[in-house]
Structure 1
Amino acid sequence: MVFVDSHPSYTGTILRVRGPLELKCRLDSTEVSQIQKVISGTFETLRSQVKSESCVLTVCDSPVVIWPNKGVKATPDEITPDTLCEEIHQWIQTDEQESFGKKSGKKKSKKGSAVSVINLRLMMEVSRPGPLPAPILSKTVQKSHFLSTTLPMDCVVETSCNSTIKDACERLVEALAHQLCEMEKVTLQHMKGTSLLVPEPFHFLLPEPAGLVTVVYPAGVPDSQLETQRKELHQQFELPDDRPYFRRANAYHFPNEPYRDGYLRNPHLVLTHPTLDDGKVYLVQGIYSYHHYMQDRMDDNGWGCAYRSLQTICSWFQQQGYVERPVPTHREIQQALVDVGDKQPSFVGSRQWIGSIEVQAVLNQLLGVTSKIMFVSQGSELASKGRELANHFLTEGTPVMIGGGVLAHTILGVAWSETTGQIRYLILDPHYTGAEDLQVITDKGWCGWKGPDFWDQTAYYNLCLPQRPKMT
């Protein structure tokens, strides 16, 4: 069910190998024990294949081909078993390259990408050099049931700066064989008659020392029916049982893969923390999407900032695995306020502002999430709220919506000194109207650290502090 990569430091390179393996077997009996025996034998054959000389790993977007079980034979010839894994980067084709077959120089990582990933493709040789034997045909007349499915293999190992290709290949082959064992367990456990549920691997980045682990789940079985399995994993890795770590929404997102929805995630990660005397930084925990004006073909410029802050908060609960529902639209937010009796039906479709109290009500109505409200009679008092905000990010770790007057913002963290009282706020500004350009957003301060003077010193503010549900 789970495979732990034994090198979770993530300062080197992650090797990720993916590819389909065909699971095909003929069932001549309907007895459960016989079916299981045949399926187990087929999985054993697949494990033998990934350990055989026919197993081939190709580095994506490059001319590099590796035979991991042939003494780590590779092409081009310059690549040897003792070549360092990180040197493979120079063969990977970048968008800027005009020719495919020559060294390209290492990829330049985008701002904020701290992890280097090399993608490999799992393949199997189907032919051998030399003369082919004469074909032999045989015919058998027999009633049988034929099972066929594609196994989506997906294994990762992390390498250090001095790891060789030989070391990495040994670990990759071991990981592939182990994943087949876990897929076999899941397949047999969730079989119904002769119907198979495809086993799907998911990667999860856990707190140290566990690091990156891989769990196999049966496709089509919702998270709500896998609670027992998740609780066992929590016990195995000594994780608290009051927050999710192994829901599908918690799966690790590889930095070289774009998000399909187009929203930026965690733009604050590229920022440098402010330096305060005897100060500490307290940040949002986990992943959120940046929602701001003019997204989703919705012109809410001038009135939708609190809606966007609420969407950012909802995205956090979705991507931490607490809820499965999509981030609500403006109209769904308005309808929720009508449903709870806070607004009249005419509110739906309007351009009316909402504030922290409405955000609290929507979170409870749509997500079942409770929130605390912090009232500040004037902006100058926010500078004295360092302890409360630090404690929130330390214990709950959720984004905070702050509304005052006609403006709403999202607070993602604070830098606070208990001894001097100095404070800085990490602000995500929903008033941004441009494209999803991380460089512009961070350079222009749409996501950035702000001082106490950022707030209107005489205006009142209400802060909505969402609370984590207790669940696995």
Structure 2
Amino acid sequence: MVVTDSSDSGTILRVRGPLEFRCQLDSTDALLMHKVISRTFATLHSQVKSESCVLTVCESPVIIWPNKGVYVTPEEITPNTLCEDIHQWIQTDEQESAGKRSSKKKSKKSSAASVINLSLMMEATKTGPLSAPILRRTLQKSHFLSTTLPMDCVVRITCSDTIKDAFECLMEALTHQLCEMEKVTLQHIKGTTLLVPEPLHFLLPEPKGLVTVVYPTGVPDSQLETHRKELHQQFELQGDWPYFRRANAFHFPNELYKDGYLRNPHMVLTHPTLDNGKVYLVQGIYSYHHYMQDHVDDNGWGCAYRSLQTICSWFQQQGYVERAVPTHREIQKALVDVGDKQGSFVGSRQWIGSIEVQAVLNQLLEVTSKIMFVSQGSELASKGRELANHFLTEGTPIMIGGGVLAHTILGVAWSETTGQIRYLILDPHYTGAENLQVITDKGWCGWKGPDFWDQTAYYNLCLPQRPKVI
């Protein structure tokens, strides 16, 4: 059920497009139904392998007929052209408005592969002699099944791959995905109802790389645990991390998140250099929650709420929980429900601290947390080993509260030999727009030294513990 490539650099070719699945069932006998469905998939295989199959490069004039000897237009491009050179034909929004073709490749971060998006199409025009239509009337009861298969295939290419080589791999991926969709369709058909197969991509630890899995739409993750265990065994993955839950699907670098929150702003930062030091970071994806978001004016009192929301987003986006990130009011109500606060607390502008964060995580997410008590800020410099071990084993964001301030710790740089330490801080006190450059340049997400903490104030740290599930 998987297509994989272990390369971690270069360009991703991603082809998406609909294939229309239509078949007529004259019987509800399971064996006969399976035969008809398989014949329909065989027809779709023939379409994908036919000369009518066309791949168009999005935002460009490039059109490729992969089964016509990899015929390409414009004529400047040949099957032996390097696939990387397609970038120069892809137009940005600004270039499109000016009616110009780019003369340079699109800019991209070195840490993330660039993506060439393609659309899967079929030529509608038929060549050859046309015959007169024949009408035939048949009276019988039958079931007509119709759905759209959302094809979505990826392959990684290197700078030395030609268009011919790359698109041969892409066509293999398309035909393989059809086989996987057929398996899922036959396994999960309910009476005469088809569950549409849904391809999802997952980025596994190196050297495994990007993997595609086909799931049945509408079947929740809770009912796919057996299949996920099989995938874990197949790829020799640890059994306590939800690699293949839908929430962990790979987010392509050229796609925007619809909710407007920034993800993982720390990824653009340069790590500090310490003598014999190592960097230990949050594992996975989180959203940056801070003052004044969601039309809530919590400036001056909501920093711990925002840090808690960042933590909740981590558990949601790793697939551990399905519930949305709680609002301030939902956080307050949870504390009332557990008996920590009086009913008048709901709707108030009262602060919360690490102990309350621990209680809310347990009440709303069923997540347990450890509390680290530090009698004064100067002691935090000696907590390198504990913090490093947390990010190594749990990988969750840490909420730290002291006095009237709360922050989120996303990682530490620590030297076991010298004791030097730096903290990666995500600051919930930011009140501006979701501008990554401002947030990182101004230090709202950045590396801080031991003097960042009030040396005489006490601090409590809430260290959420990751559920050991897949």
Q: TM-score range by the shorter chain?
A: over 0.9
What residue is the counterpart of 2:277 in the other structure? 279
What residue is the counterpart of 2:441 in the other structure? 443
What residue is the counterpart of 1:360 in the other structure? 358
Q: 1:91 to 1:99 in 2, by over 3 A?
A: farther
The answer to whether the Cα contact below 8 Å between 1:56 and 1:67 also exists between their aligned partners in 2 is yes
Deviation at 1:441, TM superposition (A): 0.5
The answer to whether the Cα contact below 8 Å between 1:91 and 1:102 also exists between their aligned partners in 2 is no
Deviation at 1:139, TM superposition (A): 3.1
Q: Secondary structure at the match of 2:24?
A: strand
What residue is the counterpart of 1:71 in the other structure? 69
Pick the aligned partner of 1:428 from 423, 426, 429. Answer: 426
Deviation at 1:96, TM superposition (A): 1.2
Provide, for residues 64-87 of structure 1, a one-character-per-residue CA deviation record: whole Å limited to 9, x for no partner. Answer: 110001001011111110111111
Higher alpha-carbon deviation: 403-412 or 85-94: 85-94
What residue is the counterpart of 1:416 in the other structure? 414
Work out whether 1:24 is the aligned partner of 2:17.
no
In the aligned structure 2, how far is the partner of 1:47 from the partner of 1:283? 45
The answer to whether the Cα contact below 8 Å between 2:284 and 2:314 also exists between their aligned partners in 1 is yes
What residue is the counterpart of 1:394 in the other structure? 392
Q: 1:192 to 1:100 in 2, by over 3 A?
A: farther
Deviation at 1:143, TM superposition (A): 2.5
The answer to whether the Cα contact below 8 Å between 1:18 and 1:153 also exists between their aligned partners in 2 is yes
What residue is the counterpart of 1:135 in the other structure? 133
The answer to whether the Cα contact below 8 Å between 2:202 and 2:250 also exists between their aligned partners in 1 is yes
Q: Secondary structure at the match of 1:307?
A: helix
Deviation at 1:98, TM superposition (A): 4.1
The answer to whether the Cα contact below 8 Å between 2:361 and 2:367 also exists between their aligned partners in 1 is yes
The answer to whether the Cα contact below 8 Å between 1:386 and 1:423 also exists between their aligned partners in 2 is yes
In the aligned structure 2, how far is the partner of 1:141 from the partner of 1:112? 63
Pick the aligned partner of 2:239 from 232, 236, 241. Answer: 241
What residue is the counterpart of 2:345 in the other structure? 347
Q: Secondary structure at the match of 2:202?
A: strand
What residue is the counterpart of 2:187 in the other structure? 189
In the aligned structure 2, how far is the partner of 1:295 from the partner of 1:47? 49
What residue is the counterpart of 2:324 in the other structure? 326
Deviation at 1:3, TM superposition (A): 1.9
Q: How does 1:53-452 map to 2 (within 5 A)?
A: 53-98=51-96, 103-106=101-104, 108-109=106-107, 114-129=112-127, 132-452=130-450
Q: 1:110 to 1:458 in 2, by over 3 A?
A: farther
Provide, for residues 220-245 of structure 1, a one-character-per-residue CA deviation record: whole Å limited to 9, x for no partner. Answer: 11111111111111111111111211
Deviation at 1:391, TM superposition (A): 0.5
Pick the aligned partner of 1:37 from 35, 38, 43. Answer: 35
Deviation at 1:209, TM superposition (A): 2.0
Deviation at 1:208, TM superposition (A): 1.6
**AA at the equivalent of 1:362:** V
Q: 1:44 to 1:358 in 2, by over 3 A?
A: same
Provide, for residues 403-443 of structure 1, a one-character-per-residue CA deviation record: whole Å limited to 9, x for no partner. Answer: 00000000000000000000000000000001100010001
Q: Secondary structure at the match of 2:329?
A: helix
Q: Secondary structure at the match of 2:95?
A: coil
**AA at the equivalent of 1:354:** I
Higher alpha-carbon deviation: 283-292 or 207-216: 207-216
In the aligned structure 2, how far is the partner of 1:429 from the partner of 1:340? 28
Q: Secondary structure at the match of 1:50?
A: helix
In the aligned structure 2, how far is the partner of 1:14 from the partner of 1:112? 13
The answer to whether the Cα contact below 8 Å between 2:321 and 2:365 also exists between their aligned partners in 1 is yes
CA RMSD of aligned residues (A): 1.3
Specify every segment of 5 or more residues in structure 2 that has no aligned partner in the other structure, as ranges: none
The answer to whether the Cα contact below 8 Å between 1:409 and 1:427 also exists between their aligned partners in 2 is yes
**AA at the equivalent of 2:75:** D
**AA at the equivalent of 1:57:** L
Deviation at 1:135, TM superposition (A): 3.2
Deviation at 1:112, TM superposition (A): 7.9
In the aligned structure 1, how far is the partner of 2:104 from the partner of 2:309? 38
Provide, for residues 314-357 of structure 1, a one-character-per-residue CA deviation record: whole Å limited to 9, x for no partner. Answer: 00001111111110000000000000000000000000000000
Q: 1:267 to 1:155 in 2, by over 3 A?
A: same
Deviation at 1:210, TM superposition (A): 1.5
The answer to whether the Cα contact below 8 Å between 1:94 and 1:107 also exists between their aligned partners in 2 is no
Provide, for residues 60-115 of structure 1, a one-character-per-residue CA deviation record: whole Å limited to 9, x for no partner. Answer: 11111100010010111111101111111111110111468753134543668622
The answer to whether the Cα contact below 8 Å between 1:85 and 1:163 also exists between their aligned partners in 2 is yes
Provide, for residues 169-209 of structure 1, a one-character-per-residue CA deviation record: whole Å limited to 9, x for no partner. Answer: 11111111111111111111111111111110110000122
In the aligned structure 2, how far is the partner of 1:36 from the partner of 1:410? 54
In the aligned structure 2, how far is the partner of 1:289 from the partner of 1:144? 50
The answer to whether the Cα contact below 8 Å between 2:88 and 2:106 also exists between their aligned partners in 1 is no
Provide, for residues 134-162 of structure 1, a one-character-per-residue CA deviation record: whole Å limited to 9, x for no partner. Answer: 33333333332111010010000000011
Q: Secondary structure at the match of 2:400?
A: strand
The answer to whether the Cα contact below 8 Å between 2:373 and 2:461 also exists between their aligned partners in 1 is yes
In the aligned structure 1, how far is the partner of 2:304 from the partner of 2:12? 39
Q: 1:432 to 1:107 in 2, by over 3 A?
A: farther
Specify every segment of 5 or more residues in structure 1 that has no aligned partner in the other structure, as ranges: none
The answer to whether the Cα contact below 8 Å between 2:278 and 2:415 also exists between their aligned partners in 1 is yes
Q: 1:53 to 1:151 in 2, by over 3 A?
A: same
What residue is the counterpart of 1:464 in the other structure? 462
Q: 1:329 to 1:448 in 2, by over 3 A?
A: same
Deviation at 1:248, TM superposition (A): 0.3
What residue is the counterpart of 2:3 in the other structure? 3
The answer to whether the Cα contact below 8 Å between 1:113 and 1:255 also exists between their aligned partners in 2 is no
**AA at the equivalent of 2:420:** Q
**AA at the equivalent of 1:145:** H
Q: 1:217 to 1:77 in 2, by over 3 A?
A: same
In the aligned structure 2, how far is the partner of 1:164 from the partner of 1:110? 21
Q: Secondary structure at the match of 1:25?
A: strand
Q: Secondary structure at the match of 1:296?
A: helix
Identity of aligned residues (%): 85
TM-score (norm 2): 0.98
**AA at the equivalent of 2:36:** V
In the aligned structure 2, how far is the partner of 1:362 from the partner of 1:234? 31
